[in-house]
Amino acid sequence: MNSFYDSIFSDKTRSSIQTLTTTLAVLGFITHLILIGLSAVSIIDLSSYGLFKNPINAIYTPFSFILIYEIYLLVFYLPRSFTTSLLKQFEIISLILVRRVFADITKIDFTTVSMTNIDLRNLFVDLLAVLALALTILLFYKAKSKLEESPQDKFDLILEKRFNNLKKYVSTALIVILACISLVHLVDFVFSSIYGEHLIPSMKNDLNSIFYKDFFTALILTDVLILLLSYSFFQDYFRLLRNTGFVIATILIRLSFGVNGLLNIILILSSAAFGYAILLIYINYRNSPQIDE
């Protein structure tokens, strides 16, 4: 298991996946643009597919590859840092929102649009949400940099090493589960595109939530497992509070995929704000000399 983990999550593998992601993103963007152009001059008929009606839709393809890489990074950091892993979740959500902004733009006819247009309001709401989430992520990174490492005795170091090894097993299992989820969604998407109906009736081709509902469900279960494992090694209340708070933040993100409109944005921003507040509490505890005494 360790050798399998090292082969998937080594720095060399991460660098190779990053290079591959960049290549696929550029090629995907160009290919998508070409298909939109061919459809526009009626060489091929893709009018029934929403993603081939506007050149701006071509941005969807490279962002999809980037999101896949960000998910890999999330699992990559999971055994290394629970805090960084949560940060990656917020970055993934922010990229999904950015991708949704481009989708909002393609829905609006700016030559006739009025301020009462619902699509225009959705665009401004999503833009504000991207800015708010980006600011929270920045504050999160600054707060994380202030987290001081407390000295550990030999016994604590042994426990930390064992705990990290268990997290590696969990991360390896998670990446396998995510690969299976991705394959199922890909097969269903291809089947529905050809035959007009879903292979799995419960699935919907919502471009902003496809795959991610199942992904965050698996991530929640993984986080809970890590939370339980951490408590078997460390009985520190504030560490338990931090990990529990991060799980709650992940649950709020997962719930956001089940709703639309303003409630979707409220759940996302509430998740980021709650996670940030929990981190501040934990940092204040760790860095407080009065508590250490």
- Please check the confidence at residue 77 and state whether its pLDDT lies above 70: yes
Higher pLDDT, 215 or 208: 215
- Please check the confidence at residue 206 and state whether its pLDDT lies above 60: no
Averaged pLDDT for residues 93-99: 89
- Please check the confidence at residue 151 and state whether its pLDDT lies above 50: no
Distant-in-sequence contacts of 146-150, Cβ < 8 A, 24+ apart:
146/283, 146/287, 147/83, 147/282, 147/283, 147/286, 147/287, 148/286, 148/287, 150/286, 150/292
pLDDT, position 148:
57
- Please check the confidence at residue 192 and state whether its pLDDT lies above 80: no
Averaged pLDDT for residues 141-167: 68
Q: How confident is the model at residue 292 (pLDDT cuts 50, 70, 90)?
A: very low
Most confident among 79-83, 90-94, 257-261 (mean pLDDT): 90-94
Q: Which helix (H) or strand (E) holds 158?
A: helix 154-195
Q: Which residues contact 64 (CB under 8 A, 6 or more apart)?
A: 28, 99
Averaged pLDDT for residues 174-188: 79
pTM for the whole structure: 0.81
pLDDT, position 137:
93
pLDDT, position 195:
65
Secondary structure (3-state) at 229? helix
pLDDT, position 59:
86
- Please check the confidence at residue 172 and state whether its pLDDT lies above 50: yes
pLDDT, position 162:
75
CB count, 10 Å around CB of 257? Answer: 23
Q: How confident is the model at residue 266 (pLDDT cuts 50, 70, 90)?
A: very high
74 near 88, Cβ under 8 Å?
yes
Q: Which of 42-46, 177-181, 247-251 has the lowest mean pLDDT?
A: 42-46
